[in-house]
Structure 1
Amino acid sequence: MKNSTAREIYDFDQDLYILFNPWNADDQTYMEDCTLLQEYVLNDVGKVWVGPIKTTRGKPWFFGQFDAVVLPACMFMLDRANMPFHQ
């Protein structure tokens, strides 16, 4: 069943979250460069770029991805968006 596209839908009594691991070489999200891991995965603060094309500026931003409210908020938005399942 390795190349199968068949899917099964199960109802669980508890929420199930599938997390990706950019440190694991077998994961599709793997990032070999530790500097990139620090920048894109572990930084809790950074900048967002705002403004028109010729006068953009960086605005300090707190990403907060490690706060307890982030996962439920993301799951709520994905649920409301009716995102389709993907392999």
Structure 2
Amino acid sequence: MELTFLPPAESGWRGPGAPRKEVPPHIVQMLAYARDSGQVGRIDVTGDTDEDVAEAINALRAGARHMKHRIQIQRDRQKQEIRFRIGEALT
């Protein structure tokens, strides 16, 4: 066994909880547009699996956290779509 001391940035130490999810740039762009325009985004999920839809919802939530804004998400199973809108900034 070998003991070494390193600065936190080099040690691999992370804070509590899981590491932050990487948010694809196109998700951030979609959310920024919804925030800036005040419009509701709508994603057609016809033919997608439940796992794919859950992953899309998780990406939207992670993107909103990244932007430090609240998000409201609705899943409409009859119309096969996800709707989202960005709310106020998190404090």
- TM range, smaller chain: under 0.3
Q: Which has the higher helix share?
A: 2
Superposition TM-score, scaled by structure 1 size: 0.23
Q: What TM-score, normalized to structure 2?
A: 0.22
